[in-house]
């Protein structure tokens, strides 16, 4: 499907790339993501790989104006925020139906002596399927 010159498949491939990097715990961007950079970091490098193996994706990607490529740091951060929110919501819904639930809250100072708080939720779905999810890491004010 094409919407205003944008292929939904193309957008889906970019979302898939973000999800892949997030699942692997890899940073999306680096200091220099320009065309001239020899080390453009993970997201741009992954998109470059996709354009080289999928000619249709590559042609569409190259013809889009730079403000319509969905590669800006703001877009990537927003996508990650939406995905994280959905994951937290799914965990909370699943935990709400659990037979047992426990919540652990801890605070500690990081290497720079900044206090941080973390929240972990553990719940049991029958039959004896234990889940442990790290829910939050937040810098204290």
pLDDT score for 33: 63
Higher pLDDT, residue 50 or 29: 50
The long-range contacts involving 29-36, CB below 8 angstroms and separated by at least 24 positions, are 29/73, 29/76
Q: Is the pLDDT of residue 7 over 80?
A: no
Q: What is the mean pLDDT of residues 69-97?
A: 86
The verdict on residue 92 lying in a domain is no
The verdict on residue 78 lying in a domain is yes
Q: What is the mean pLDDT of residues 24-49?
A: 77
One domain, residues 20 and 77: yes
Q: Is the pLDDT of residue 1 over 60?
A: no
Q: What is the mean pLDDT of residues 44-58?
A: 87
Domain ranges, residue 42: 2-87
- Edge-first strand order for the sheet with 129-139 is 100-109, 115-125, 129-139
The number of distinct structural domains making up the chain is 2
């Amino acid at each position: 499907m094409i919407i205003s010159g944008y292929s939904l498949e193309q957008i889906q491939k970019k979302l898939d790339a973000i999800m892949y990097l997030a699942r692997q715990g890899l940073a999306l961007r680096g200091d220099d993501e320009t065309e001239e950079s020899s080390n453009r970091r993970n997201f741009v490098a992954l998109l470059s790989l996709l354009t080289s193996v999928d000619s249709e994706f590559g042609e569409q990607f190259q013809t889009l104006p730079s403000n319509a490529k969905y590669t800006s740091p703001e877009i990537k951060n927003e996508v990650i925020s939406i995905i994280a929110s959905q994951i937290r919501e799914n965990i909370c819904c699943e935990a709400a139906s659990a037979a047992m639930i426990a919540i652990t809250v801890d605070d500690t100072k990081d290497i720079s002596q900044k206090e941080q708080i973390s929240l972990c939720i553990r719940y049991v779905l029958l039959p004896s399927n234990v889940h442990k999810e790290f829910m939050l890491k937040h810098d204290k004010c």
